[in-house]
Structure 1
């Protein structure tokens, strides 16, 4: 005999109970799936945050750099010219030149010579020569050393053309001397006589060399020709540039990487003004001479 079927009411309750049990069994599966999804998102977010943090720290630690200056030192300015050249430019000058004062010989220096060839009642020939050197280091805020040197070079040329009392001022480029060179010439009348001034400004990498040379015939002597003085000052400038290069041969040049503002931060500051304290005073004798005349 077969089992009698359950009453209709019981079959309904049994069906509902089966559906409830099946639904309850599905809940843990959904929770597990949701948990896995939540954990995965958290890991991704953490990875992104750590990567972002690493990038931020890398950008913070990176520091700006600038191309290091080529030349790291200067020669003794009184040793930049040979005895032969000094004999041509200032034949009656003392054996040693007069060193200009400098608070940092690694970045600036100058040396001057004066010569008076006395010919008695016939008069005398006067010559004055000055060599000044100014070196610029690269600076992360101001720029590369050769750029700073070029700015100072331009200013030196402008200053040489604007001397009080200068007559017939002319400026002309000079080739074969450094990366850039300009010769400024003018006449200057003083109570002692008529002076012919030659100022040759040249830049060799991150160093500016200024050679001032003037001559006059005194007490009846004839005034020297500007052309003869120009040839001599060009010769002196070439030797001074060669002395700068020689002083930095064999490891004396700057190194790569970030450049620090020392020691020529002070030189850069002085370059933004008029020529440096030690070099400009000795390199512009014609200015003081103009005031006296």
Structure 2
């Protein structure tokens, strides 16, 4: 009996060992698997939740940072020749709420030639500068868009006769001259408008004239030549102001 009891104890002890090992092994495998699964899910969620960087749009910097003094953009010698009897020799400044972005100046006068009648002349120059903007485009692109719009406005002048548009070479990056005749105050006026762009600046220049008291109207050539001369000086003044 004693031998049988001792033998039975040894058998039960040996049988218990693998059961414990298997239990321990199952428990360890289960824990390892749970941790691995949890770690993978967390990394996946973290990766999907991370915000994607938004690419920043860059635009070309505006070429010119400021405008010239508009009334000095055309030389005194030129304004005196184009408008001989100007009421204000130094020009009349147009009001502007933002002188850094837009400005204008004009000269006008009536030259009395006695029995030959009188000659009236008007010269006007305006500048529009555009900044670069990530949503609107570079200053150059914006100026190019507005160059086209301003040219279309001049070409759409109501009552204009014999309207012609010509490319003006050597005036900024792009330029056009628009010539036409217009009847005003019972007189025939001859007009030449130059629409030009230099970098991010649009230059609008208009020169016109008429003969009074029997005087002949000025020729289209003289008005056009005068407008182009003044426009070249105005465009050049932009670069000089930004040196």
Give the TM-score normalised by structure 1. Answer: 0.73
> Given that residues 196 and 216 in structure 1 are in contact (C-alpha distance below 8 angstroms), is that contact kept between their aligned partners in structure 2?
yes
Matched residue, 1:201: 195
Matched residue, 2:75: 82
Aligned length: 239
CA distance in 2, matches of 1:228, 1:177: 18
2:135 pairs with 1:141: yes
For residues 134-168 of structure 1, what are the alpha-carbon distances to aligned partners after superposition, in whole Å with 9 as ceiling and x for unaligned? 11112232222222211211111111112121100
Shift of 1:37: 4.1
> Given that residues 137 and 145 in structure 1 are in contact (C-alpha distance below 8 angstroms), is that contact kept between their aligned partners in structure 2?
yes
Q: CA RMSD in A?
A: 2.6
CA distance in 1, matches of 2:12, 2:118: 133
Shift of 1:192: 4.4
2:19 pairs with 1:23: yes
Matched residue, 1:237: 231
Matched residue, 1:32: 28
1:19 to 1:247, Cα distance in 2 relative to 1, 3 A: farther
> Given that residues 115 and 128 in structure 1 are in contact (C-alpha distance below 8 angstroms), is that contact kept between their aligned partners in structure 2?
yes
> Given that residues 130 and 213 in structure 1 are in contact (C-alpha distance below 8 angstroms), is that contact kept between their aligned partners in structure 2?
yes
CA distance in 2, matches of 1:67, 1:28: 69
Matched residue, 2:106: 112
> Given that residues 192 and 208 in structure 2 are in contact (C-alpha distance below 8 angstroms), is that contact kept between their aligned partners in structure 1?
yes
CA distance in 2, matches of 1:107, 1:69: 12
For residues 195-252 of structure 1, what are the alpha-carbon distances to aligned partners after superposition, in whole Å with 9 as ceiling and x for unaligned? 1101100011111100000011211112211112111111111111111111122xxx
> Given that residues 133 and 209 in structure 1 are in contact (C-alpha distance below 8 angstroms), is that contact kept between their aligned partners in structure 2?
yes
CA distance in 1, matches of 2:43, 2:206: 68
CA distance in 1, matches of 2:15, 2:206: 109
Consecutive unaligned residues of structure 1, counting only runs of 5 or more, are: 250-293
1:22 to 1:183, Cα distance in 2 relative to 1, 3 A: same
2:159 pairs with 1:165: yes
> Given that residues 76 and 90 in structure 2 are in contact (C-alpha distance below 8 angstroms), is that contact kept between their aligned partners in structure 1?
no
Shift of 1:16: 7.6
Matched residue, 2:184: 190
Shift of 1:59: 2.1
For residues 105-142 of structure 1, what are the alpha-carbon distances to aligned partners after superposition, in whole Å with 9 as ceiling and x for unaligned? 01110000012211112101111000000111122322
2:66 pairs with 1:66: no
Matched residue, 1:286: none
Q: Which has the higher contact order (CA 8 A, sep 6+)?
A: 1
CA distance in 1, matches of 2:96, 2:126: 11
Shift of 1:20: 4.6
> Given that residues 113 and 129 in structure 1 are in contact (C-alpha distance below 8 angstroms), is that contact kept between their aligned partners in structure 2?
yes
